[in-house]
Amino acid sequence: MQPWWPRIIVKPKVRLTRPRFGMPTRPPDIVIFGLMFVVVLFVLGGNIYTLVRSPPAIASGSGGTPILIAPGIDTQLGLEGVVASVIIFVGTIGLGLVYYGSKYVFQPGYATRLILLGIILAGVSFLIFSYLWSVKVGYF
């Protein structure tokens, strides 16, 4: 049977199907870990207290000098929670580097550098956190 159009026009033999749009069953593990990590840093930094109490970000002392750390453990400035979260993050990165460096058994130079950097980061964050706590309690 001859089609009614000319032979130079070729009818394509294409089967079109409906596209399927499906959502993934769950988000990737790294996304879940990142969100949980940010939530834990937010809570450990004391930022929930800052949100509930809504204190000023920076207070001023008797001579008008800015106070970045409020004295006393019953008060907290807005900046203190952010600083505490950053210090906890740096310490966690240091501990993660120590763990990550322990996997390189057959590359001892690289493993030593990673472990040493991790110990330094974790130690410095511990010292800074201890200093901030002593300022808050009133030792300095």
What average pLDDT does this structure show over 32-44? 92
121: left (phi over 0), alpha (psi -120 to 50) or beta: alpha
Would residue 107 count as lying in a domain? yes
Q: Can you tell me the distance from the alpha carbon of 140 to that of 138, in angstroms, rounded to the nearest whole number?
A: 5
Number of domains present in the structure of the chain:
1
Q: Residue 115 — pLDDT band, cuts 50, 70, 90?
A: very high
Would residue 36 count as lying in a domain? no
pLDDT in tens, 57-87: 677 777 878 887 888 888 888 888 888 999 9
- pLDDT at residue 95 above 90? yes
Q: Which domain holds residue 95?
A: 44-137
H helices within the chain, ranges in order?
Answer: 29-44, 47-53, 78-101, 108-137
Query: Which residues, other chains included, contact 120 with Cβ-Cβ below 8 Å and sequence gap of 6+?
Result: 94
Q: pTM here?
A: 0.72
Tell me which of 32 and 3 has the higher pLDDT: 32
Would residue 132 count as lying in a domain? yes
Would residue 11 count as lying in a domain? no
pLDDT in tens, 22-34: 877 888 889 999 9
